[in-house]
Structure 1
Amino acid sequence: MQVVRADYRSPELSTALTYRYGRQETEQLKQRLDDHGFAVAAMPDDVEPHTAVERLAATLGLGQPYIASLYQREDTKEHGAAYTDVRSQASSDHPAFGTTAGQSMHVDGLLEPIGTVRTTVLYCVRPALSGGRTVLFNSTAAFEELRRRDPQAAGPLLDPGVLRRRSTLPNVDADHVGPAFAYREDGLLITRYAEGDTVEWRAPDGRSADLERALAFLRAAGEDKRYSVALRLEARQVLVFRNDVVSHGREAYRDDPAAPRHLIRTLYLETPR
């Protein structure tokens, strides 16, 4: 993948491709994913949202949607679905799906080992009245830059005990510990870099100062337009991104009570092929 050399300042990245499931359009979408880790497409307006996502996944060869491990449990399965509705609901106790609050940087699949959930699809049924942009952070590119500049600081981020992520669902005790970054056998750098309430950083013995430098670098990179872009999806637009290569978050938003923001999220264990 070329994403570790991508520059997110290019305005064309947030321009939606017109997508009608054609072969040439599919190849163009795949190329953007390979080059930048994400792609935005405008889907047909005569296809029902779930059908549009299903057809897109089939065309890209993503296989069946995956329900994250956190939502396969008896005490959490009410929040789990192959097609997850992301919208504000007063009755919801989910700290992210059911609120208008912002979301810190993360990757999907909180309990999964690094690289498990490889692709995320977000279909916009209806945007927010204001706010609610999805923020994509090219964390793998930022890590490679850190490793070039300060390899001593980058080292702890590869440690298998450096990052603990835990559930913030009420009365749910679940967590997973692993590296923040790792290299697959084929050489691809993958990520589970995250921040916020779900995160606990654990420096290897004697490496606290190195880890602090590394995190300071990544947090600064998250504000750098070379590595970060905020996208507002309009109705019938879909965002496809490599969840194993880029991290993402969400800005807080304000709803129109008569037409609240509504996105559909699906996760996949495969990448486009």
Structure 2
Amino acid sequence: MPEKNLASEINERGYAVVSAPTNNHDPFAVHAATARTLGLSDAYLPLLYRDKEVRAAVGQVEPYNEIPRNTATVEPWSETPGQSYHVDGLLEPLGGIKTTILHCLVQAHSGGETELLDSCAAFADLQEIDEPSAQALLDEAALTRFATIPGASPQHLQTTGPVFGQVDGEFVTRFSDGPTERWNTGQVRHLDTALQHFRGPGLDTHRVRIRLSPGDMLIFRNDRLSHRGCPYQNGAEPRRLTRSMYSERPRQ
């Protein structure tokens, strides 16, 4: 697919899947090459991994990472639970990380899909039927995201802000709903009703599951789509993905 068409697909639909040969000697070289074709600058190191305590705890020193971080500790045929919906960039402000690239090197024996949720479309649905609840998601106090990394001080590893809003001329999201999120329903009126929408009918028509084969690369707009990894069972060899993130959207 020509690069201009690929960028258009990602920006218009929110994601695209392409074939990208794996490179065991440098698994991130293909990330850098793909980013260049999309007009993206260097991969972005999230604020969380710039923290000295976090870097010491998890060994994250580069803007690229493997999922899981250490395959040597993964037992053959073991099972891994699924994730909750989130956007990459735990401490980033709204729209801070615009693009994420996932590359599949080894797929799971079973499961292991990536589920994408068009959070902005779900918001538009809510706005049509319940404007006060939709407005609650724009409140600066609506959602707190925080890190739970052993050995790191929690006081500076959290940020509070709106769930949706306008950034750089686009409507974007940081909708996340898991163990590292706190919805401040006691401070923001109608926020509890909005959350019920996103935990129920808001999911029905705006999510898609994608199971990558080895060599497949998923590129998506992290500032428009929330995502989660689905449960999976490893095979004799552990499932292995690589990831990079970018502070820009693909250029058409």
TM-score of the pair, normalised by structure 1: 0.82
Alpha-carbon distance in 2 for matches of 1:189, 1:204: 26
Over 3 Å counting, the alpha-carbon distance change for 1:229 and 1:119 in structure 2 is same
Alpha-carbon distance in 1 for matches of 2:10, 2:35: 14
Over 3 Å counting, the alpha-carbon distance change for 1:205 and 1:89 in structure 2 is closer
1:198 to 164, 180, 188: 180
2:105 to 125, 128, 132: 125
Q: Deviations over 1:114-134 (max 9, x none)?
A: 101110000111111111111
Alpha-carbon distance in 2 for matches of 1:170, 1:45: 33
Shift of 1:31: 2.1
What is the aligned residue count?
A: 239
Q: Tell me if 1:28 matches 2:44.
A: no
2:68 to 79, 87, 103: 87
Q: Tell me if 1:240 matches 2:219.
A: yes
Q: Tell me if 1:74 matches 2:57.
A: no
Shift of 1:161: 0.8
Q: Deviations over 1:160-219 (max 9, x none)?
A: 111000102223211110101112352x11100001101101136461xx2121111111
SS at match of 2:200: helix
Q: Deviations over 1:4-54 (max 9, x none)?
A: xxxxxxxxxxxxxxxxxxxx5212211221221111101246796322211
SS at match of 2:85: strand
1:219 to 160, 179, 199: 199
1:146 to 126, 144, 155: 126
Please say if residues 173 and 223 of structure 2, whose CA atoms lie closer than 8 Å, have aligned partners that are also in contact: yes
* Equivalent residue number for residue 38 of structure 1: 15
Q: Deviations over 1:107-164 (max 9, x none)?
A: 0010011101110000111111111111100000100111111101111110011100
2:167 to 184, 188, 204: 184
Structure 2 unmatched ranges of 5 or more: 74-78
SS at match of 2:53: coil
Over 3 Å counting, the alpha-carbon distance change for 1:45 and 1:91 in structure 2 is closer
Structure 1 unmatched ranges of 5 or more: 1-23, 93-98
Over 3 Å counting, the alpha-carbon distance change for 1:44 and 1:91 in structure 2 is closer
Please say if residues 162 and 204 of structure 1, whose CA atoms lie closer than 8 Å, have aligned partners that are also in contact: no
Report 1:97-136 matches (<5 A). 100-136=80-116
Alpha-carbon distance in 2 for matches of 1:74, 1:143: 36
Give the CA RMSD over aligned residues. Answer: 2.1
* Equivalent residue number for residue 17 of structure 1: none
Report 1:153-172 matches (<5 A). 153-172=133-152
With 234-243 and 28-37 compared, the bigger mean Cα shift is at: 28-37
Q: Which has the higher contact order (CA 8 A, sep 6+)?
A: 2
Over 3 Å counting, the alpha-carbon distance change for 1:38 and 1:100 in structure 2 is same
Please say if residues 137 and 222 of structure 1, whose CA atoms lie closer than 8 Å, have aligned partners that are also in contact: no
Please say if residues 156 and 204 of structure 1, whose CA atoms lie closer than 8 Å, have aligned partners that are also in contact: no
